[in-house]
Structure 1
Amino acid sequence: MSRERDRVLAAADVSRETAEKLDLYVAQLTRWQAIKNLVGPSTLAEVWTRHVADALQLLTLMPAARTWLDLGSGAGIPGLILAIAGPPGIRVDLVESNARKCAFLTETARLTGAPVRVHNARIEAVIGDHRGVDVVCARALASLTQLLAWAEPLLKTGTTGLFPKGREVEAELTEAAARWTVGHDLLPSRTESSARIVRVTALAPNRP
């Protein structure tokens, strides 16, 4: 794992201080995994490549973004990792309805000094309070159609969406096109050859 760690951190070109905070995040994730199933158990051994690197690549897609909203944050992937490694002035709001996962997010943010706000709430209850954020993101949460429905108030007013997706991304885009006109580009993932990141730049419901 140390070899994977070094490779990921070198590719991300993070400072020693940020590397130490990411180490602390991974240690916390490993400890809390025994209490609350935060990530797939089989992926924990590959935490640096499967989770940390997967989150860090989003920063390179929106380098000027400073305000982020992470839906269904769970283990803080990508939102908490973005806050730990992001540029000066970054602020990330984490939305998670599970109270025990929120406890993990809150404690790990405290230990790492990550600039986040944790919202123990359902997405529908808080999405309207975040108009004007630069980026809304979500990973391994729901279908693209559902993500667009949740994020519509933001995406139709200038917020960019970043949604990592797996090999079924084309099918998800086709399904979403039945309901939405989606301005987007499809970007390759740096961590999985069959995965893509859907970057949404405009959204409008289709006319009936």
Structure 2
Amino acid sequence: MAKPLTEGPEAVEAVWPLTAAARERLTRYVALLASWQAAKNLVAPSTLPVVWSRHVADSAQALAAVPDAKRWLDIGSGAGFPGLVTASLLAETPGAKVTLVEANGRKVAFLRTVIRELGLPATVLAERIERLAGSAGAGIGPVDAVSARALAPLGALYGYAAPWLTTGSVGVFHKGQDFGSEVNETSQSWTADLVERQSRIDPGGRIVVVRDLKPR
């Protein structure tokens, strides 16, 4: 059995090496999350004691799966997992940019506060991803990777991310161990080069990397 992760920045370092500046950014992010949580209910309260492993380190697996990606689109961003974590880790990388899509007003306000206070290379679109996908990206432009964590079944994620995944972007999706049934359900509508990776944080979790998505 794997040794439980330490609840702190060290949990992230099990996934991605941290610079001193990145460690400080993530520490400030967690502090902001804690200060907003009581009023805004940004994450499940039961996960707060394990926020570093459950949310921050888990989110770092998106960048670890596609380490060369600099331009990211994070859909259904919620409290910023994984989008703000990705932006925090890439903040010292020239040309990095993360676009976060979130429709919930209180979460949008939180995301924008974190971005401003931490100086992250990120922007927030206060939109539903269905609308953006339906308008073929709505001017977001090309991205290297599209991420989503605990957002929707795989077939729905394909539909949301299709404007980018069918034109060369890579999808990086956090899924559970039973996602195989979701793959089967998508096979009649889509083809894709899909790689499943065991989560380093959750024994039952998977990081699914999707390339070359095509509608049938």
The question of a shared fold, defined as TM-score above 0.5 by the shorter chain, is answered with yes
CA contact 2:130–2:160 (8 Å) conserved in 1 = yes
Aligned match of 1:138: 148
**Counterpart in the other structure of 1:167:** 177
CA contact (8 A) 1:161 1:200 kept: yes
Matching residue of 2:17: 13
Cα distance, 1:137 vs structure 2: 0.8
Which residue, 111, 115, 126 being the options, matches 2:121? Answer: 115
Q: 1:66 aligns with which of 70, 79, 88?
A: 70
Question: What is the alpha-carbon distance in structure 2 between the residues aligned to residue 38 and residue 58 of structure 1?
Answer: 20
- Residue segments in structure 2 that go unaligned for 5+ positions in a row: none
TM-score of the pair, normalised by structure 2: 0.90
Counterpart for residue 186 of structure 1: 196
Question: How big is the alpha-carbon RMSD for the aligned residues of Structure 1 and Structure 2?
Answer: 1.5
How far does residue 120 in structure 1 lie from its aligned partner after superposition?
Answer: 0.5
1:100 and 2:106 are equivalent in the alignment? yes
Look up the match of 1:27: 31
Structure 1 Cα separation of the partners of residues 13 and 156 of structure 2 = 35
Query: Is residue 80 from structure 1 mapped to residue 113 from structure 2 by the alignment?
Result: no
Counterpart residue type for residue 191 of structure 2: T
TM-score, with structure 1 as normaliser = 0.93
Indicate the residue corresponding to 2:60 in structure 1. Answer: 56
Shift of residue 167, structure 1, vs aligned partner = 2.1
Worse-matched range after superposition: 155-164 or 7-16: 7-16
Q: Which moved more, 1:14-23 or 1:97-106?
A: 14-23
Q: In structure 1, which of residues 39, 44, 47 is the aligned counterpart of residue 48 of structure 2?
A: 44
**Aligned residue number for residue 159 of structure 2:** 149
Q: 1:130–1:154: 8 Å Cα contact kept in structure 2?
A: no
Count matched residues. Answer: 205
Give the letter for the 1:70 counterpart. D
For 2:43, what is the secondary structure of its paired residue? Answer: coil
Q: Which amino acid aligns with 1:81?
A: V
Instruction: Determine if contact 2:62/2:173 at 8 Å carries over to the other structure.
Output: no
Q: Please, which runs of 5 or more residues in structure 1 have no aligned partner?
A: none
How far off its partner does 1:9 sit?
A: 4.2
CA distance in 2, matches of 1:70, 1:40: 20
Cα gap change, 1:53/1:9 in structure 2, threshold over 3 Å: closer, same or farther? closer
Which residue of 1 is the match for residue 168 of structure 2? 158
Instruction: Give the share of equivalent positions with the same residue, in percent.
Output: 44
